């Protein structure tokens, strides 16, 4: 091989990769971290008591692992404020008794103690329909008809990416899974507008509780109402499994009176800011120690379940990755920093706040001094599944580098490189400025079923996959911290405005 070709080859310290694999396999803390982050901490809704308790735990855990400069850092104002669910009880009492496992919508209000009453359907298909409900809804329990019907599924509950799907990703062809989800933006916007008008009517009428259906996945969804701190409390609202919701809807449509008893206690608490938990292994090179390799995942979850796959799994992997490096006593040239973000689910608040604090002035849109010292960011937020490769975010320049970095993990099934952008989570906060920020391709496992539902619990975690993900993350972080140059960046692109990015969460 001629010298100039040799010089271009990306060097990987295979002895270190071997050590990382050994530490991550034989001394893994993945199962232990999984217990603490899910069963022990519970849900970590941004601004909630659970989030505060969780971030204190994470800080303590990082210190215990020997990370340095560990801190809980306020990054951004949080316009919603905090919200805790203290009690939820809902049962049908007529035509017979049946209790329902349901979940309150975050940032909605309470009932006035235990309320009992008839359930009525409010079925608004067009604005004209609103008229007929005027003056009829005071103190009523209102059931909003489901927009989706239940279909028996013949799909497996969990799945891994097939060789064919991985090939499609590599060739940048749409995968079958993607093609399955049609999306009509105009219809969605119209639906949203009508929904807002219906909510307005129910507010002015003085409705007691709103009941919604979980839809396709049968499991109570966990999400939040649009709310800004200081607004009047939205009407108490419950999300019911499609089976329970559907049963009542069918009864009412056949003119069988349905009654329920419901008690919901929610508490709005002051929480003016979003917090991140940060720790690091400082760099050791005289010059390069000022440069930062960042790994991270969002720490906040929705309030149903315990936010296991979304996204305790990512936090567990990132903490374990840095623990592995610390346990091996590595002396990285650059600083390797882990960040657990708050407020992702409400608009990537934690990571965007970090960018605003350290990298780009949000008012002037000018780079801050640390912008040039930013080496790379690696994010995990696609559930509990194994890494199968990495998305390049259109950054073709890093392909030859990642090809070499992935070689030691080919036998673990992680070798696919996809040129495409992947969105919806925290790497976008960096990528939108052209900074090298990436997310791994992951097996879906049960992500659809558990995603933002009360079933996102410890049971959703695949320990063997998380162990591998931590090993690969540790290796990528180490490689990025040791190579002569920072990772190549895309030509700098300034987003035009705040509204230029529309995260899907
Ligand atoms: Zn997430």
Taking the centre of ligand 1 as the mean of its atom positions, its distance from the CA of residue 368, in whole angstroms, is: 28
| Tokens encoding 171 | 């060739």
Q: Quickly tell me which residue has 């899974």 as its tokens.
A: 177
Q: What is the DSSP letter of 221?
A: B
Asked if 201 and 134 touch (Cβ cutoff 8 Å), the reply is yes
Taking the centre of ligand 1 as the mean of its atom positions, its distance from the CA of residue 125, in whole angstroms, is: 32
Residue 253 has pLDDT above 50, yes or no: yes
Give me the half-sphere count of Cα atoms (radius 13 Å) on the Cβ side of residue 313: 34
Q: Rounded to two decimals, what is the model's pTM?
A: 0.93
422-452 residue pLDDT tens: 988 999 999 999 999 999 999 999 877 778 9
Q: Which of 386, 364, 439, 346 is nearest to 75 (CA)?
A: 346
Taking the centre of ligand 1 as the mean of its atom positions, its distance from the CA of residue 201, in whole angstroms, is: 33
Taking the centre of ligand 1 as the mean of its atom positions, its distance from the CA of residue 505, in whole angstroms, is: 6
Taking the centre of ligand 1 as the mean of its atom positions, its distance from the CA of residue 363, in whole angstroms, is: 27
Residue 177 confidence (pLDDT):
58
Distance CA 309, CA 457 (A): 7
The average confidence (pLDDT) of the chain is 93
Taking the centre of ligand 1 as the mean of its atom positions, its distance from the CA of residue 354, in whole angstroms, is: 17
Residue 219 confidence (pLDDT):
86
Taking the centre of ligand 1 as the mean of its atom positions, its distance from the CA of residue 298, in whole angstroms, is: 6
Q: Quickly tell me which residue has 């911290």 as its tokens.
A: 481
Taking the centre of ligand 1 as the mean of its atom positions, its distance from the CA of residue 504, in whole angstroms, is: 10
Taking the centre of ligand 1 as the mean of its atom positions, its distance from the CA of residue 45, in whole angstroms, is: 12
Taking the centre of ligand 1 as the mean of its atom positions, its distance from the CA of residue 382, in whole angstroms, is: 7
Distance CA 448, CA 425 (A): 16
Residue 499 has pLDDT above 90, yes or no: no
Residue 179 confidence (pLDDT):
46
Residue 3 has pLDDT above 60, yes or no: no
Taking the centre of ligand 1 as the mean of its atom positions, its distance from the CA of residue 417, in whole angstroms, is: 22
Distance CA 217, CA 214 (A): 7
Residue 101 confidence (pLDDT):
92
| Tokens encoding 272 | 């003016």
Taking the centre of ligand 1 as the mean of its atom positions, its distance from the CA of residue 270, in whole angstroms, is: 24
Residue 266 has pLDDT above 60, yes or no: yes
Residue 182 confidence (pLDDT):
60
Residue 181 confidence (pLDDT):
53
Q: What is the DSSP letter of 417?
A: E
Taking the centre of ligand 1 as the mean of its atom positions, its distance from the CA of residue 11, in whole angstroms, is: 33
Q: What is the DSSP letter of 210?
A: E
Q: What is the DSSP letter of 260?
A: E
Residue 192 has pLDDT above 90, yes or no: no
Taking the centre of ligand 1 as the mean of its atom positions, its distance from the CA of residue 260, in whole angstroms, is: 34
DSSP string, 73-110: EEEEE-TT-EEEEEEEEEEEEESS-EE---EEPBT---
Taking the centre of ligand 1 as the mean of its atom positions, its distance from the CA of residue 430, in whole angstroms, is: 16
Distance CA 435, CA 453 (A): 33
**Beta-sheet strands, E only, within 78-196:** 82-94, 98-99, 103-104, 115-121, 141-143
Distance CA 322, CA 340 (A): 12
In residues, how long is the chain? 505
For residue 1, what are the CA distances in angstroms to 22, 180, 399, 425, 500?
Answer: 33, 47, 21, 42, 47
Taking the centre of ligand 1 as the mean of its atom positions, its distance from the CA of residue 261, in whole angstroms, is: 34
| Tokens encoding 43 | 């849900």
Taking the centre of ligand 1 as the mean of its atom positions, its distance from the CA of residue 307, in whole angstroms, is: 9
| Tokens encoding 349 | 């608040």
Taking the centre of ligand 1 as the mean of its atom positions, its distance from the CA of residue 141, in whole angstroms, is: 32
Taking the centre of ligand 1 as the mean of its atom positions, its distance from the CA of residue 311, in whole angstroms, is: 5
The better pLDDT of the pair 468, 146 is held by 468
């Amino acid at each position: 091989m001629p010298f100039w070709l040799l010089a271009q080859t990306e060097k990987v310290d295979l002895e270190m990769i071997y050590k990382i694999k050994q530490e991550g396999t034989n001394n893994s803390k993945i199962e232990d971290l999984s217990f603490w982050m899910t069963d022990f901490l519970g849900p970590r809704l941004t601004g909630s008591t659970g989030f505060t308790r969780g971030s204190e735990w994470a800080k303590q855990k990082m210190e215990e692992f020997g990370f340095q400069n560990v801190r809980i850092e306020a990054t951004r104002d949080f316009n919603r404020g905090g919200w805790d669910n203290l009690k939820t009880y809902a049962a049908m009492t007529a035509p017979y008794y049946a209790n329902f496992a349901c979940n309150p919508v975050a940032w909605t209000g309470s009932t006035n103690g235990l309320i009992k009453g008839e359930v009525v359907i409010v079925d608004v298909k067009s604005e004209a329909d609103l008229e007929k409900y005027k003056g009829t809804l005071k103190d009523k329990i209102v059931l909003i008809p489901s927009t989706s019907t239940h279909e028996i599924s013949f799909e497996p509950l969990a799945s891994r990416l097939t060789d064919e799907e991985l090939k499609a990703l590599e060739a940048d062809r749409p995968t079958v899974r993607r093609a399955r989800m049609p999306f009509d933006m105009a219809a969605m916007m119209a639906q949203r507008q009508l929904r807002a008008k219906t909510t307005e009517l129910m507010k002015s009428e003085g409705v007691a509780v709103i009941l919604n259906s979980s839809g396709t996945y049968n499991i109570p969804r966990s999400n939040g109402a649009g709310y800004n701190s200081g607004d009047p409390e939205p009407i108490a609202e419950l999300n019911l499994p499609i089976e329970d919701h559907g049963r009542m809807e069918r009864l009412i449509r056949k003119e069988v009176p349905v009654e329920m008893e419901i008690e919901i206690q929610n508490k709005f608490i002051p929480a003016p800011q979003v917090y991140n938990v940060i720790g690091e292994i400082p760099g050791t090179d005289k010059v390069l120690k000022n440069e930062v390799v960042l790994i991270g995942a969002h720490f906040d979850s929705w309030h149903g379940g315990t936010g296991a796959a979304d996204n305790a799994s990512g936090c567990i992997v990132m903490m374990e990755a840095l623990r592995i490096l610390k346990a091996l006593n590595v002396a990285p040239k650059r600083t390797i920093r882990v960040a657990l973000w708050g407020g992702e689910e409400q608009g990537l608040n934690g990571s965007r706040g970090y960018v605003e604090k350290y990298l780009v002035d949000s008012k002037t849109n000018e780079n801050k001094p640390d912008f040039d010292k930013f080496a790379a960011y690696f994010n995990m937020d696609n559930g509990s599944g194994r890494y199968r490769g990495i998305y390049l975010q259109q950054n073709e320049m890093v392909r030859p580098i990642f090809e070499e970095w992935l070689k030691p993990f080919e036998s673990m099934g992680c070798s696919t490189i996809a040129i495409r952008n992947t969105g919806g989570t925290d790497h976008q906060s960096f990528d939108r400025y052209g900074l090298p920020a990436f997310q791994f391709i992951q097996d879906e496992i049960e992500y659809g079923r558990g995603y933002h539902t009360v079933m996102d619990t410890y049971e959703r975690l695949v320990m063997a996959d998380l162990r591998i993900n931590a090993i690969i993350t540790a290796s990528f972080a180490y490689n990025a911290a040791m190579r002569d140059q920072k990772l190549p960046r895309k030509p700098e692109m300034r987003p035009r405005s705040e509204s230029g990015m529309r995260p899907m969460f």
